[in-house]
Chains A and B, each alone.
Chain A
């Protein structure tokens, strides 16, 4: 009995390692992995493996963020298919305020990113590109605003479709705590 339990633990640990490698090592243009990929490498019970991995990562200040597809019916109770189509990322548990490195943005870019993301959310995740650029142009020059928008698109914070409709990109969905952002904006005077 004891041998069987230890064997099962070892198998689970192997699966957790595979899942961790899959999530951490970037193979395509976007980091993380889809549910399909995790199921292939970690087995049918990949969600259980993810749950265990999540609890291990918590001690390091990390967590696994699941970004469900846009057409998910019930966000609180997704279906099996929706879990398979979702993307899984490793993110920090809390905002990195004490990090030594400056990050990839200066203060102006960060402010523009904040304004852009808030604007997109205010427009229910479907904003007009020209309107967004006009908003940024109230504080920065025209050429700078176009450059900023292109940078945010390249990094994955925003997506721009062929009809010039701007939405939140994969990185914004993975990294941004929208509810917290809305609360902070609501209480700011």
Chain B
């Protein structure tokens, strides 16, 4: 391994210890120091020397973390950390909660508003400038479509839905763009409306393949009405 790579390895190790991804007590600092000792004569340029310094600093951090770990464990713990973590994983929530309740002595505090601070606040309120009037909210541009004019509602609609279902079945999987190609705006709206009905019914599903939407046979696990953005698909 390259000297630079070895030094990088030690530096990454010390960073992992600081980020608590590795238990510091599992590392052998003596071995790391011997490694650096062996690398030192092979260092060529200033960059490698700087990395060497960084690696030494990293080892110092590892030692510091080891000291902290040992102090903490010797002061407080009656169990090993691994045994403690296994225990809390196995305990049921009620027992965990009860144990915590037995160990919590809540802090008492209260808030207080003095007359002086209230008077200062009133003065500040009068000194505050008025908020600028809010701009009128623009209402969304809603276009209403008369379904009767489009010929969607009525007995004819069921026949049209069946016709569309047969057309899709014979050509599946069919690209939605191709399906709508060559139709007028009203026809596109009608097709999309019937298609949404068929998909909600569970006859067909929509699939995305290479950023294109396809209609295919199958039953969707989604339950409820399907919404297709007509403004996007019905553009002339």
Contact = CB atoms under 8 A, between A and B. Distances in A.
B103 interface: yes
A24 B106 contact: no
A149 to B, nearest CB: 15
Interface string A113-127: 111011101111111
B108 A113 contact: no
Given A24-B109, A165-B19, A183-B78, A107 B103 contact: no
B101 A110 contact: yes
A135 interface: yes
Interface secondary structure of B, over-half rule: helix
Contact of A113 (B84, B100, B110): B100
Contacts of A121: 76-77, 84
Contacts, number: 147
B99 interface: yes
Interface string A145-189: 000000000000000000111000001001111111111111010
A111 B110 contact: no
A183 to B, nearest CB: 6
B26 interface: no
Interface residues on B, range: 35 or more
Closest 3 CB pairs of A and B: A31-B109, A111-B93, A114-B100
Given A111-B94, A114-B96, A127-B20, A96 B111 contact: no
A131 interface: yes
Given A139-B93, A180-B103, A182-B76, A188 B109 contact: no
A32 interface: yes
Interface of A: 24-26, 31-32, 62-63, 65, 75, 89-97, 107-108, 110-115, 117-119, 121-128, 131, 135, 138-139, 163-165, 171, 174-186, 188
A177 B19 contact: no
Contacts of A123: 20, 81
Given A177-B103, A188-B99, A118 B84 contact: yes
A125 B72 contact: yes
Nearest to B111: A26
B103 A119 contact: no
**Central interface residue in A63, A96, A118, A119, by most chain B CB within 10 Å:** A118
A181 B109 contact: no
B42 to A, nearest CB: 32
Interface string B85-110: 10111010111110111111111111
Given A62-B108, A122-B77, 16 more contacts: A65-B105, A65-B107, A91-B106, A91-B107, A92-B106, A96-B105, A97-B102, A115-B88, A117-B100, A124-B68, A126-B68, A127-B20, A139-B93, A165-B19, A185-B79, A185-B87
A104 to B, nearest CB: 10
B228 to A, nearest CB: 29
Given A119-B85, A123-B20, A128-B19, A95 B105 contact: yes
B105 A91 contact: yes
B108 A122 contact: no
A178 B89 CA distance: 19
A111 B107 contact: no
Contacts of B96: 110-111, 114-115
B76 A178 contact: yes
Contacts of B106: 91-92, 96, 175
Contact of B101 (A24, A25, A89, A97): A97
A114 B72 CA distance: 19
Contacts of B84: 118, 121-122, 185
28 contacts: A25-B109, A25-B110, A25-B112, A26-B110, A31-B107, A31-B109, A62-B108, A65-B105, A75-B75, A95-B102, A97-B102, A107-B94, A110-B100, A111-B100, A113-B100, A115-B88, A122-B81, A124-B69, A124-B72, A124-B73, A125-B72, A126-B20, A175-B105, A178-B103, A180-B103, A185-B84, A185-B88, A188-B99
